[in-house]
Structure 1
Amino acid sequence: MKLYIKYMVSLRCKLMVKLELEKLGIEYTSLELGMIEIKENIQKEQLQQLKQNLAVSGLELLEDKKSILIDRIKNVIIEMIHVSEEVPKVNYSEFISEKLGYDYTYLSNLFSEVKGVTIQHFIIKHKIEKAKELILYDELNLTEIAYRLHYSSVAHLSNQFKKVTGHTPSYYKKLGKKRKGNLENL
């Protein structure tokens, strides 16, 4: 039996869900971002208690098939951009389609209908957030960041970055250093 959880997007969320499952004595075979595979069917009372316990932490047990699929799409994208160290060898549409076992056109249309933005726009927003994080860490240069985030060039990354944030990556980096300096002077 598989259960899908909305807003489960980090390792901290996984740990919290694991603790809740253990507290309720629910055995599972797999625990991934957004999904738990339960060993055997659980009682309605346990399921209801799990739902309530997760809600306290801001997580939501999904039951609607469309919501489950949308959340799975989001989790694949988040894992691909924020968690995975490797760049997918295929383009994003193929990667998402293969990972979820659905035709990309179907996934794309459903996502746009429900979320009001395209999958591509969602990916771009997350890539720029990851780029901001990597810029502030100051461990990689822009060429390395562009490669890691699957951009064809630094110029492509810079153009998208400016479109989304209103700033160039170098200006954003200066802002981050300025803020850090101000905090250190407190």
Structure 2
Amino acid sequence: MTTLFIKNMVCNRCIMVVQNEFDKLGLDVKNIKLGEVVLNNGLTDEEKNKLKEVLIPLGFELIDDKKSRIIEKMKNIIIDLVHYQDNEINTNLSEVLSSEMRHDYNYLSNLFSEVEGTTIEKYFIAQKIEKVKELLVYDELSLSEIAFRLNYSSVGYLSNQFKKITGLSPSHFKKICEDRRKPLDEV
């Protein structure tokens, strides 16, 4: 078995696209998830080069160095936690990352900051704000339901953090998005 690490796989559609490319190349995939593909067999240098050729135009790339693999895995854990788990885990982020990565959080935090130029916490907050934007645009949940779903302690805290990051209040952001959208019969 061979495990490959792939940068920029951030959603289920990414998984489908990458799976499709592996299938086209005739590579025997055992398992695929965000940022990681496990093959039943090894790769020849020729297969690896061909894989790089098809992934790069799609916005993906193979990760060869250990630090980059660790960073990408942390990002994928955070993305999965925020966007696909509805933040149901009630432990804090440092515990989740330490447990999943099997490394001390201080090591992970320092590595992330060194390589990415920002903190894990800021990355986590940025992901949460992107999820808030998505949920505001869908207009299916109230702000208090969004705050609860994303484990904010209060609507006020969510609103303050949203404004600090985006420069807009959640209600102003929602209004701007509504003003830009046309009804289907006007498209």
TM-superposition CA deviations, 1:7-35 (whole Å, max 9, x none) = 11111211111111111221122100100
Count of matched residue positions in the alignment of Structure 1 and Structure 2:
186
Aligned counterparts, 1:27-106, within 5 A:
27-106=28-107
Aligned counterparts, 1:1-186, within 5 A:
1-181=2-182
Could you say if the C-alpha distance between residues 181 and 45 of structure 1 is closer, same or farther in structure 2, counting changes exceeding 3 Å? closer
Q: Measure the CA separation in 2 of the matches of 1:8 and 1:41.
A: 21
TM-superposition CA deviations, 1:53-84 (whole Å, max 9, x none) = 11121110010111111111111111111122
Structure 1 window deviating more from structure 2 (81-90 vs 10-19): it is 81-90
Contact 2:3–2:38 (CA<8 Å) still a contact in 1? yes
Letter of the aligned partner of 1:46 in structure 2?
E
Q: Report deviation, 1:89.
A: 2.1
SS at match of 2:181: helix
SS at match of 1:3: strand
Contact 2:87–2:151 (CA<8 Å) still a contact in 1? no
Q: Measure the CA separation in 2 of the matches of 1:162 and 1:183.
A: 30
Letter of the aligned partner of 2:161 in structure 1?
Q
Contact 2:15–2:32 (CA<8 Å) still a contact in 1? yes
Q: Report deviation, 1:176.
A: 1.5
Q: Report deviation, 1:85.
A: 3.3
Q: Measure the CA separation in 1 of the matches of 2:16 and 2:67.
A: 26
Q: Measure the CA separation in 2 of the matches of 1:91 and 1:28.
A: 33
Gaps of 5+ in 1: none
Q: Indicate the RMSD between aligned Cα atoms, in angstroms.
A: 1.6
